[in-house]
Amino acid sequence: MLDLYDKIQDAVGAIRHAWDATPRAGVILGTGLGSLADQIEVQASLDYADIPHFPTSTATSHRGRLVCGNLKGLPVVAMEGRFHQYEGYPLKQITLPVRVMQALGADVLCVSQAVGGMNPYYQPGDVMVLDDHINLMGDNPLVGVNDDRLGPRFPDMSAPYDKELMEVALEIARRENFVAHKGVSVAVTGPCLETRAEYRFLRMIGADVVGMSTVPEVIVAVHCGLRVFGVAVVTDMCLPDALEPANVDKIIATAGSAEPKLRALFEGVLEHLANTGV
Protein backbone atom coordinates (compact mmCIF):
# COMPACT_ATOMS: atom_id res chain seq x y z
CA MET A 1 0.00 0.00 0.00
CA LEU A 2 2.98 2.31 0.35
CA ASP A 3 2.84 3.36 -3.32
CA LEU A 4 -0.83 4.39 -3.10
CA TYR A 5 -0.28 7.82 -1.59
CA ASP A 6 1.76 9.09 -4.53
CA LYS A 7 -0.69 7.58 -7.04
CA ILE A 8 -3.57 9.34 -5.28
CA GLN A 9 -1.72 12.67 -5.47
CA ASP A 10 -1.02 12.15 -9.19
CA ALA A 11 -4.72 11.54 -9.89
CA VAL A 12 -5.83 14.46 -7.70
CA GLY A 13 -3.42 16.75 -9.55
CA ALA A 14 -4.87 15.80 -12.93
CA ILE A 15 -8.45 16.37 -11.72
CA ARG A 16 -7.55 19.68 -10.03
CA HIS A 17 -6.11 20.87 -13.34
CA ALA A 18 -9.63 20.61 -14.80
CA TRP A 19 -11.75 21.35 -11.70
CA ASP A 20 -10.74 23.30 -8.59
CA ALA A 21 -13.91 22.93 -6.48
CA THR A 22 -14.15 20.75 -3.37
CA PRO A 23 -16.69 17.92 -3.60
CA ARG A 24 -18.87 17.11 -0.62
CA ALA A 25 -19.75 13.63 -1.94
CA GLY A 26 -18.25 11.02 -4.20
CA VAL A 27 -20.74 9.02 -6.27
CA ILE A 28 -20.20 5.67 -7.99
CA LEU A 29 -22.87 5.10 -10.64
CA GLY A 30 -23.29 1.38 -11.26
CA THR A 31 -25.58 -0.42 -13.68
CA GLY A 32 -28.96 1.32 -13.88
CA LEU A 33 -27.89 4.70 -12.54
CA GLY A 34 -25.65 6.05 -15.29
CA SER A 35 -28.26 8.61 -16.35
CA LEU A 36 -27.92 10.36 -12.98
CA ALA A 37 -24.79 11.91 -14.47
CA ASP A 38 -27.09 13.79 -16.86
CA GLN A 39 -28.62 15.61 -13.88
CA ILE A 40 -25.27 16.98 -12.74
CA GLU A 41 -24.50 20.62 -13.52
CA VAL A 42 -21.22 19.62 -15.14
CA GLN A 43 -18.21 21.83 -14.53
CA ALA A 44 -15.63 19.32 -15.78
CA SER A 45 -15.47 15.76 -17.04
CA LEU A 46 -12.46 13.51 -17.59
CA ASP A 47 -12.20 10.17 -19.31
CA TYR A 48 -10.62 7.57 -17.04
CA ALA A 49 -7.80 7.23 -19.57
CA ASP A 50 -6.84 10.85 -18.82
CA ILE A 51 -6.52 10.31 -15.05
CA PRO A 52 -3.21 8.79 -13.88
CA HIS A 53 -3.47 5.23 -12.50
CA PHE A 54 -7.21 4.88 -13.22
CA PRO A 55 -8.10 1.59 -14.94
CA THR A 56 -10.31 1.42 -18.03
CA SER A 57 -13.89 0.27 -17.48
CA THR A 58 -14.75 -2.68 -19.74
CA ALA A 59 -18.08 -3.65 -18.16
CA THR A 60 -21.23 -3.55 -20.28
CA SER A 61 -23.17 -0.24 -19.93
CA HIS A 62 -20.36 1.50 -18.00
CA ARG A 63 -19.30 4.68 -19.82
CA GLY A 64 -15.95 5.32 -18.15
CA ARG A 65 -15.59 8.98 -17.18
CA LEU A 66 -15.39 11.15 -14.10
CA VAL A 67 -18.00 13.93 -13.89
CA CYS A 68 -17.46 16.93 -11.60
CA GLY A 69 -20.09 19.52 -10.74
CA ASN A 70 -23.21 20.19 -8.67
CA LEU A 71 -26.15 17.91 -8.04
CA LYS A 72 -29.11 19.05 -5.95
CA GLY A 73 -27.01 21.96 -4.72
CA LEU A 74 -24.16 19.73 -3.59
CA PRO A 75 -20.70 19.66 -5.19
CA VAL A 76 -20.01 16.07 -6.27
CA VAL A 77 -17.50 14.01 -8.18
CA ALA A 78 -19.19 11.05 -9.89
CA MET A 79 -17.82 7.93 -11.51
CA GLU A 80 -19.89 7.13 -14.58
CA GLY A 81 -19.00 3.44 -14.57
CA ARG A 82 -16.86 1.43 -12.17
CA PHE A 83 -14.23 -1.32 -12.21
CA HIS A 84 -14.56 -4.97 -11.18
CA GLN A 85 -12.27 -7.71 -9.97
CA TYR A 86 -13.48 -9.96 -12.81
CA GLU A 87 -12.01 -7.49 -15.31
CA GLY A 88 -8.59 -8.52 -14.00
CA TYR A 89 -7.82 -5.49 -11.86
CA PRO A 90 -6.43 -5.82 -8.31
CA LEU A 91 -8.66 -4.46 -5.57
CA LYS A 92 -6.18 -1.69 -4.69
CA GLN A 93 -6.53 -0.31 -8.22
CA ILE A 94 -10.30 -0.82 -8.31
CA THR A 95 -10.69 1.22 -5.13
CA LEU A 96 -8.15 3.94 -5.95
CA PRO A 97 -10.91 6.35 -7.13
CA VAL A 98 -12.51 6.21 -3.66
CA ARG A 99 -9.27 7.40 -2.10
CA VAL A 100 -8.99 10.09 -4.78
CA MET A 101 -12.51 11.32 -3.97
CA GLN A 102 -11.60 11.56 -0.29
CA ALA A 103 -8.34 13.36 -1.10
CA LEU A 104 -10.31 15.88 -3.19
CA GLY A 105 -12.35 16.70 -0.06
CA ALA A 106 -15.40 14.39 -0.12
CA ASP A 107 -16.65 13.10 3.23
CA VAL A 108 -19.51 10.93 1.91
CA LEU A 109 -19.48 8.08 -0.63
CA CYS A 110 -22.70 7.09 -2.43
CA VAL A 111 -22.61 3.78 -4.32
CA SER A 112 -25.05 1.81 -6.45
CA GLN A 113 -24.90 -1.67 -7.92
CA ALA A 114 -26.95 -4.25 -9.80
CA VAL A 115 -27.57 -7.49 -7.89
CA GLY A 116 -29.33 -10.80 -8.04
CA GLY A 117 -32.10 -11.22 -5.48
CA MET A 118 -32.06 -14.23 -3.16
CA ASN A 119 -34.62 -13.04 -0.62
CA PRO A 120 -37.92 -14.54 -1.81
CA TYR A 121 -39.79 -11.40 -0.72
CA TYR A 122 -37.92 -9.33 -3.31
CA GLN A 123 -38.93 -8.75 -6.95
CA PRO A 124 -36.97 -7.78 -10.08
CA GLY A 125 -36.83 -3.98 -10.22
CA ASP A 126 -36.95 -3.58 -6.42
CA VAL A 127 -34.29 -1.49 -4.72
CA MET A 128 -32.48 -2.39 -1.51
CA VAL A 129 -30.72 0.06 0.78
CA LEU A 130 -27.48 -1.55 1.95
CA ASP A 131 -27.40 -2.19 5.68
CA ASP A 132 -24.46 -4.61 5.78
CA HIS A 133 -22.33 -6.82 3.56
CA ILE A 134 -20.34 -10.05 3.31
CA ASN A 135 -17.02 -10.16 1.46
CA LEU A 136 -16.50 -13.44 -0.40
CA MET A 137 -14.22 -12.06 -3.10
CA GLY A 138 -11.20 -13.91 -1.76
CA ASP A 139 -9.24 -10.68 -1.30
CA ASN A 140 -9.28 -7.39 0.57
CA PRO A 141 -8.07 -4.01 -0.73
CA LEU A 142 -6.32 -3.33 2.59
CA VAL A 143 -3.95 -6.33 2.41
CA GLY A 144 -0.31 -5.28 2.64
CA VAL A 145 1.75 -2.84 4.68
CA ASN A 146 -0.60 -0.15 5.98
CA ASP A 147 0.05 3.51 5.18
CA ASP A 148 -1.16 5.44 8.22
CA ARG A 149 -1.62 8.54 6.05
CA LEU A 150 -4.51 6.72 4.35
CA GLY A 151 -6.23 5.09 7.32
CA PRO A 152 -5.82 2.78 10.34
CA ARG A 153 -4.36 -0.70 10.19
CA PHE A 154 -7.53 -2.32 11.56
CA PRO A 155 -10.61 -0.27 10.53
CA ASP A 156 -13.80 -1.06 12.41
CA MET A 157 -16.56 -2.51 10.20
CA SER A 158 -19.35 -2.81 12.77
CA ALA A 159 -21.45 -0.23 10.89
CA PRO A 160 -20.03 0.36 7.40
CA TYR A 161 -23.22 2.04 6.09
CA ASP A 162 -24.42 5.31 7.58
CA LYS A 163 -27.61 4.83 9.60
CA GLU A 164 -28.84 8.41 9.17
CA LEU A 165 -28.54 8.35 5.38
CA MET A 166 -30.16 4.92 5.32
CA GLU A 167 -33.22 6.27 7.15
CA VAL A 168 -33.37 9.31 4.88
CA ALA A 169 -33.51 7.00 1.85
CA LEU A 170 -36.20 4.76 3.33
CA GLU A 171 -38.31 7.81 4.15
CA ILE A 172 -37.95 9.02 0.56
CA ALA A 173 -39.20 5.65 -0.70
CA ARG A 174 -42.22 5.83 1.62
CA ARG A 175 -42.97 9.36 0.46
CA GLU A 176 -42.60 8.42 -3.22
CA ASN A 177 -44.65 5.23 -2.67
CA PHE A 178 -42.26 2.58 -3.92
CA VAL A 179 -40.73 -0.46 -2.24
CA ALA A 180 -37.25 -0.07 -0.77
CA HIS A 181 -35.91 -2.98 1.24
CA LYS A 182 -33.08 -2.83 3.76
CA GLY A 183 -30.73 -5.79 3.64
CA VAL A 184 -27.38 -7.52 3.27
CA SER A 185 -25.33 -7.83 0.08
CA VAL A 186 -22.68 -10.48 -0.54
CA ALA A 187 -19.84 -9.77 -2.97
CA VAL A 188 -18.34 -12.52 -5.13
CA THR A 189 -15.63 -12.32 -7.78
CA GLY A 190 -17.60 -13.32 -10.89
CA PRO A 191 -17.86 -13.09 -13.84
CA CYS A 192 -19.92 -16.28 -13.95
CA LEU A 193 -23.19 -16.28 -12.08
CA GLU A 194 -23.75 -18.74 -9.26
CA THR A 195 -24.90 -22.35 -9.22
CA ARG A 196 -28.04 -23.40 -7.41
CA ALA A 197 -25.95 -24.81 -4.57
CA GLU A 198 -24.02 -21.54 -4.28
CA TYR A 199 -27.23 -19.52 -4.09
CA ARG A 200 -28.46 -21.79 -1.29
CA PHE A 201 -25.18 -21.27 0.55
CA LEU A 202 -25.19 -17.49 0.13
CA ARG A 203 -28.76 -17.21 1.34
CA MET A 204 -28.02 -19.51 4.27
CA ILE A 205 -25.15 -17.31 5.51
CA GLY A 206 -27.41 -14.25 5.64
CA ALA A 207 -27.31 -12.47 2.27
CA ASP A 208 -30.40 -10.99 0.65
CA VAL A 209 -28.70 -10.14 -2.66
CA VAL A 210 -25.47 -11.05 -4.47
CA GLY A 211 -23.25 -8.84 -6.64
CA MET A 212 -19.73 -8.46 -8.01
CA SER A 213 -18.81 -4.98 -6.77
CA THR A 214 -19.30 -2.29 -4.12
CA VAL A 215 -17.88 -4.14 -1.10
CA PRO A 216 -14.21 -3.32 -1.91
CA GLU A 217 -15.09 0.34 -2.40
CA VAL A 218 -16.99 0.42 0.88
CA ILE A 219 -14.10 -1.20 2.77
CA VAL A 220 -11.74 1.49 1.47
CA ALA A 221 -14.28 4.23 2.20
CA VAL A 222 -14.47 3.11 5.81
CA HIS A 223 -10.67 2.88 5.95
CA CYS A 224 -10.28 6.51 4.88
CA GLY A 225 -13.11 7.85 7.04
CA LEU A 226 -15.98 8.37 4.60
CA ARG A 227 -19.64 7.98 5.49
CA VAL A 228 -21.27 5.51 3.10
CA PHE A 229 -24.70 5.29 1.52
CA GLY A 230 -25.40 2.35 -0.77
CA VAL A 231 -28.31 1.13 -2.90
CA ALA A 232 -28.69 -2.07 -4.93
CA VAL A 233 -31.21 -2.70 -7.70
CA VAL A 234 -32.50 -6.27 -7.99
CA THR A 235 -32.17 -7.18 -11.66
CA ASP A 236 -33.12 -10.86 -11.50
CA MET A 237 -34.20 -13.47 -8.98
CA CYS A 238 -31.75 -16.18 -7.93
CA LEU A 239 -34.05 -18.71 -6.29
CA PRO A 240 -32.36 -22.13 -6.57
CA ASP A 241 -35.60 -24.12 -6.85
CA ALA A 242 -36.92 -21.91 -9.67
CA LEU A 243 -33.71 -20.78 -11.33
CA GLU A 244 -33.80 -19.54 -14.93
CA PRO A 245 -30.78 -19.04 -17.22
CA ALA A 246 -29.35 -15.53 -16.94
CA ASN A 247 -30.13 -13.06 -19.71
CA VAL A 248 -27.66 -10.14 -19.57
CA ASP A 249 -29.75 -7.91 -21.86
CA LYS A 250 -32.79 -8.46 -19.64
CA ILE A 251 -30.73 -7.79 -16.52
CA ILE A 252 -29.52 -4.45 -17.91
CA ALA A 253 -33.06 -3.55 -19.04
CA THR A 254 -34.44 -4.29 -15.56
CA ALA A 255 -31.75 -2.13 -13.98
CA GLY A 256 -32.68 0.66 -16.38
CA SER A 257 -36.38 0.39 -15.52
CA ALA A 258 -35.54 0.91 -11.84
CA GLU A 259 -33.57 4.07 -12.61
CA PRO A 260 -36.32 6.51 -11.44
CA LYS A 261 -36.33 4.88 -8.00
CA LEU A 262 -32.54 4.87 -7.74
CA ARG A 263 -32.42 8.48 -8.84
CA ALA A 264 -35.04 9.51 -6.28
CA LEU A 265 -33.02 7.94 -3.47
CA PHE A 266 -29.67 9.36 -4.56
CA GLU A 267 -31.00 12.83 -5.27
CA GLY A 268 -32.93 12.85 -2.00
CA VAL A 269 -29.91 11.83 0.05
CA LEU A 270 -27.69 14.40 -1.69
CA GLU A 271 -30.33 17.10 -1.18
CA HIS A 272 -30.46 16.16 2.51
CA LEU A 273 -26.70 16.59 2.75
CA ALA A 274 -26.88 19.96 0.98
CA ASN A 275 -29.71 21.23 3.22
CA THR A 276 -28.44 19.97 6.56
CA GLY A 277 -24.70 20.21 6.09
CA VAL A 278 -24.29 16.91 7.94
**Does residue 278 carry a pLDDT above 70?**
no
Predicted pLDDT at 42 = 94
| 22-26, 221-225, 258-262: least confident range | 258-262
Closest CA to 6 of 79, 100, 98, 83: 100
Give tens-digit pLDDT for 80-116.
988 999 999 999 999 999 999 999 999 999 999 999 9
Nearest to 263 by CA among 108, 133, 121, 110: 110
Q: Average pLDDT of 193-205?
A: 97
Banded pLDDT at 33 (limits 50, 70, 90): low
pLDDT band at 175 (very low <50, low <70, confident <90, very high): very high
Of the pLDDT bands very low, low, confident and very high (cuts 50, 70, 90), residue 131 is very high
Q: Per-residue confidence at 204, pLDDT binned at 50, 70, 90?
A: very high
Q: What is the 3-state secondary structure (H, E, C) of 2-23?
A: CCHHHHHHHHHHHHHHHCCCCC
Q: Residues 177-186: what's their mean pLDDT?
A: 97
**pLDDT at residue 54, rounded to an integer:** 93
Average pLDDT, the chain: 93
pLDDT value of residue 252: 83
pLDDT of residue 59: 59
Question: In terms of pLDDT, which residue wins out, 119 or 80?
Answer: 119
Residue 105, pLDDT score: 97
Q: What angle do CA 172, 173, 177 make, to 5 degrees?
A: 120
Q: Is the pLDDT of residue 147 over 70?
A: yes
Whole-number Å distance between alpha carbons of 244 and 75: 42
Q: How far apart are CA 258 and CA 250, in angstroms?
A: 12
| Domains in the chain, CATH or no CATH each | 4-276 (3.40.50.1580)
Partners of residue 209 on adjacent β-strands: 117, 185
CA angle 17, 22, 25 (to 5 degrees): 120
DSSP state of 49: G
Identify which has the larger pLDDT, 11 or 252.
11
Q: Is residue 23 predicted with pLDDT exceeding 90?
A: yes
Q: Please tell me which residue, 68 or 59, carries the higher pLDDT value.
A: 68
pLDDT at 20: 94
Residue 241 has pLDDT above 60, yes or no: yes
Q: Do the strands 108-117 and 209-211 form a parallel or antiparallel pair, or are they unpaired?
A: antiparallel
